[in-house]
Each structure stands twice: as C-alpha cells, then as structure tokens.
Amino acid sequence: MTELLSIILAAGEGTRMRSARPKVLHEVGGLAMVGHVVRAAQMAGASRISVVIGPDHDAVQSEVVRHAPGAVFASQLERRGTGHAVRVARSAFEAATGNVVVLYADNPLVTAGTIATITAKLDAGADIVVVGYTPDDPTNLGRLLTSDGKLLAIREHRDATDEERRIALCNSGIIGFRADTLRAVIDRIDNKNAKGEFYLTDAVELANADGRNVEYIEADKNEVIGVDDRSRLARAEAQFQELRREDFMRAGVTLKDPGSVHFSWDTEIGRDVTIFPNVVFGPGVKIADGVEIRAFCDIEDVRIGEGATIGPFARIRGGAELGKDVHLGNFVEVKKSVLHDGVKAGHLSYLGDAEIGARTNIGAGTITCNYDGVNKSKTTVGENAFIGSNSSLVAPVTIGDGAYVGSGSVITRDVEPGALALGRARQENKPGYAPKLKARAEAIKRAKSGK
C-alpha cells in the first residue's frame, strides 16, 4: 500500500467566528472540526499526519494529538496563502515517498471515501488530483478550468475573466499530490496575483507545464463546506446530523421524528432501538439492542444495556452504566452511577455516584445526597431492595440486599440486608389546631400590608 501523508492546514484564526477559540476547535457533532478531518485522514489510510497551526495554538495541537498521537506540527507565523502554508510543512513532505493529500481543518464533513478516491487516482497514474464541487453560488470561489477530463488550471475569482467566472465547477481546496510532484512545484509557486499570496492551486499549471498528469474529481457540495463563521458552522452541524440520522435508520434504528433527534460523532446504537422526538445525544453514548428512548431526554457518556427504557425527560451523564431492562422514567437524572439489570426508577429521582443492585426499585422523589460541599461520596444499594418514595440516601451509605427503606426517610447509616429502615420523625396530630395557624398567618399578612 502506498504511503499516505496528510497535511492539514489549521492555522486560521477564524476572526469571523467572533470567538476566543481558534476556529478549528469549534465543534460539529460534539467533536472539534480539526478532529473530524484527522479522523477522516486516518480512516483513508494516512500513516503520517502533519498539521500546520498558528502561533499560540497549543489547544489545537492538544486536540490533534488526542486523535493522532504521532502527528507532527509546523507553525505558520505569517498568513501568506495556502502555498506558503504547505511550504511550512516541508519537513514532512520532503521525506514522503508516496502520496500527499492537503486537507483543511475547517472542512469537518470531508469523508475518508473522498480521500481514498484521490489516492486511488494517484496510484493509477495521476500526479495531482484536485477535488471540485458545484456550489449554489460560486461567487468569490476559484474555478476549475478543464478539458477532456483533465484539469488545466484553477483560476481564483479575483483573477478570473468574465467567461471563466461563468464556470460552475469550483475548487474545494483539497488537493492530492504524488510526493515527488509536490516537491517539484512547491517552490516555483509565486505571489503574482491580485491578493499577493502564494496559491497552492498554481501547482496545477506548473505541473501541466512539466507534462505531468493533472486530474480532478467532483465531491458533493455539502461534503466540502468550509466553515468560517457561525452561520456556516450551523449549516455543517445540520448536514452532519442529517447524515447520521440516515446512517442509523439504515442500520435498523427507528426515529419517530428524525429532524428533532441530535447525535454526537461517536454515538453507537444497536438494532431495533426506538428513539422518540427531541432527544439529544452528547459524546460517549453506546446503546445496545432493543432500547427505547422516549421524548425529551439528554444523554451523554453512558452505556445503556439491552431492552432498557429511558424517559421521557430523563438526563443521564458522567460515565453512567445501565444494565439490561433498566427502566428510568420521567424526570430521573443519573450521573456517574451503575444501575444493574432490571433496576427501576420511575419518577423524579436523582442517582449520583451510586451503584444500584439488580431488580431494585427506586421510589419517586428519591435522591442520593452525594456531595457534602467538598467531597463526593458513594451510595451502594444491593439487589432486590426497595427504596420508598421521597427518601434521601446520605452518602457514604450502604443498603443491603432485599432491604426496605420507608417512604420519606433520611438514611444516614448503613442498612443491613433484609432490614426495614425508617428515618423519619413520628407523626403527631393536633385536633383543631389548623384554624389557629391560619389565623396567625393572616394576622402576619395584615401587619405587613398595613391594613
């Protein structure tokens, strides 16, 4: 297999994003844009990745390393065009022996399939392969000048004639090179153009002048969308979500209202899962077969076992693990907890930093009091236990197998297996006392109002 080096250009500040963060760290589907591009390159077979970053872009470097620990970096101190940016990565391509594909960190929807198509054409004899597309509005975009299936040149909009501006096929910026071709042309690119920049696209005419084989492919316009402001970021997010929804439905997932369900880049869902409207999946969600997620749930960083039913209006997060046939009902929140097979929490509960044994029932209004203002502590409940409604379990505390906790209890000490725990004050009734309380309250109200 021919070696593939991917050079990812990620030095832009993204001033139109109006953000303190570098542009390429803004997220699509819960993943930084540069992360999407790195992953696409890896899936296409890139064995080496070089990323061109701007000064003080340590956060960009950290994000790249999270996905590609072996990536190398070059810093572009001046913004002098795409040709100059690639020159900055010279140490990477000087040693390349196969193919080099130049990608852009603000193209989060580029696919491994498109990159693989580029490399296949290079392996088949092309020296340069350019990715074009047909946008709805080509204004300000470079045009591909073609003839008989070959690419003759790329003309930037400012430098194009009126006739060239009528061409619909535009440049995405993504270009593949044979490594020796890149080395042969990169230093011959000049900046004699309207913007005074070094355009990587000039490599096309230089290669043609050398008698090299320059080809092009056409990608879907949505795949090569470049994100340079919040509006385009929203468009990229919408397109990402549409693609994910289609993928899941083809894989056997039922979406009751597809347009209202939002996925993350790494969401994993089994077969015969049903998802109701207005569900949001953050990063780190893995769902087994036969699960039902009802409306208005917010779910991230969780594993959900086979046959579970979740929601409506449930929130699960923080590395939670739910076993088979777990049932979480409306307004139940689970954080950093393990719920074993068959656990039920039907209504209005908070389970944080807890481990709940199999087939235990959690009554409505139950909370684990896991935070003392300084430390988080764990609540452990055994199997087949019953926690009565409106109970507070003050961690650290352990409730044994088969134990019962009476409704309204505040549990501060461990409960042995099979025991009944009651942690509430004895009820006292005072006949005829209610009218006196009401009269007192009304007197206080009159005193406050001055009447």
Per-residue pLDDT at 97 exceeds 70: yes
Class of domain 4-218: alpha beta
Measured distance CA(333)–CA(204) in Å, rounded? 57
Per-residue pLDDT at 1 exceeds 70: no
Measured distance CA(363)–CA(390) in Å, rounded? 7
Task: Specify the range with the lowest mean pLDDT, choosing from 130-139, 260-269, 290-299.
Answer: 130-139
Per-residue pLDDT at 451 exceeds 80: no
How does residue 78 score in pLDDT terms, banded at 50, 70 and 90?
confident
Provide the pLDDT for residue 195.
83
List 36, 262, 340, 347, catalytic entry: 347
As a whole number, mean pLDDT of residues 67-75 equals 95
Quick: pLDDT tens for 137-181: 998 899 999 998 899 999 988 889 999 999 999 999 999 999 999
Q: Is 67 helix (H, G, I), strand (E, B) or coil?
A: helix
Whose tokens are 């999407």? That residue is 36
Quick: pLDDT tens for 199-219: 999 999 999 999 999 999 999
Domains 4-218 and 231-421 fall in the same CATH topology: no
Class of domain 231-421: mainly beta
How does residue 55 score in pLDDT terms, banded at 50, 70 and 90?
confident
Measured distance CA(348)–CA(370) in Å, rounded? 17
Q: Which letter, b or e, does each residue of 217-249 get, where b requires 16 or more Cβ atoms within 10 Å of its Cβ?
A: bbbeeebbbebeeeeebebbbebbbebbbeebe
Query: Catalytic: 262?
Result: no
Provide the pLDDT for residue 91.
92
Provide the pLDDT for residue 56.
81
Domain locations in the chain as residue ranges:
4-218, 231-421
Quick: pLDDT tens for 355-409: 999 999 999 999 999 998 889 999 999 999 999 999 999 999 999 999 999 999 9
